[in-house]
Structure 1
Amino acid sequence: MQIGEVAARTELSLRTIRHYEDTGLVIPSARSQGGFRLYTEDDVARLLVIRRMKPLGFTLDQMRDLLDATDRLDSGTELPADERGSLLERVRTFEDAAQQRVVDLRTQLARAEEFAGTLRERLGRAPAQ
């Protein structure tokens, strides 16, 4: 599929997808004869991982590290047990970090909702004009 369809499916802008390409996070699987980027379902899945990591505050280097680990685990080649264990531990570290960031975001959301409620109550007490 071309970049426009990928953008629609991932809810990422063309500019963002190109930026991720420039930084090496995702590489189009092919190019058309006209030079258009062509992406596969695997490329879309990779972009969705990146999109999910972004709001949790992961850096591009961290995204690259996780994608490298999952690429190696999913490569279909037999990995030595120690290397496989090390890669799985890297993925676990990211899962732990993601869980902690979710907790932090829930706390921030609760505080924001409390603040909005306080403002709503204040407006409800204001005299009508």
Structure 2
Amino acid sequence: MSTDTGGYRQIGQVAERSELSLKTIRHYDEVGLVQPSARSTGGFRLYTAADVERLLVIRRMKPLGFTLAERKQLLDAVDVLDDQTATAQQRSAARVDLLAFRDKARDRAERLRQQLANAEEFTDLLTARTCAPSA
């Protein structure tokens, strides 16, 4: 059965592109993080390239430990900055939010880098111990 999606991507294609599971994408829809831009005549979720980009932002935030509420807050700030009808006050508040997220992301990424360095050091130690000649 062939369905013309008019440039939209079906959820399976979105899952492949975003490296997120179908279940996760559906959950993000249910909690209001990323809702499909359209539905097929059969009721299937259809996503635009912009929807996929939102999912990629969410995916990138996950390893940094951002909660779903924080991810929603960041996406809301991005939406305000993209909204041509937003007031100067709304835009200013959105920029403040994004700067705070940037700073949190930098701090958390640095912690991850340190954890990775520790893990590599440990792996090197184990390699040295297993490759050392027995006495």
- Give the TM-score of the pair, scaled to structure 2: 0.90
Instruction: String of CA shifts for 1:21-61, please: whole Å, max 9, x gaps.
Output: 11110100010101110100110000000000001100000
Q: Is residue 2:37 matched to residue 1:26?
A: no
Q: CA deviation at 1:74?
A: 0.5
Q: Which stretch shifts more, 119-128 or 64-73? A: 119-128
Q: Report SS of the residue matched to 1:77.
A: coil
Q: Is residue 2:108 matched to residue 1:101?
A: yes
Structure 1, unaligned stretches of length 5 or more?
A: none
Q: CA deviation at 1:83?
A: 2.4
Q: Is residue 2:120 matched to residue 1:118?
A: no
Q: Report SS of the residue matched to 2:41.
A: coil
Q: CA deviation at 1:78?
A: 4.3
Distance 1:5 1:96 in 2: 33
Instruction: String of CA shifts for 1:4-30, please: whole Å, max 9, x gaps.
Output: 110111111101100111111010001
Q: Which residue of 1 aligns with 2:68?
A: 60
Distance 2:126 2:116 in 1: 15
How many residue pairs are counted as aligned between the two chains?
Answer: 127
Q: Which stretch shifts more, 70-79 or 12-21? A: 70-79
- Give the TM-score of the pair, scaled to structure 1: 0.94
Identity %: 57
Q: CA deviation at 1:87?
A: 1.0
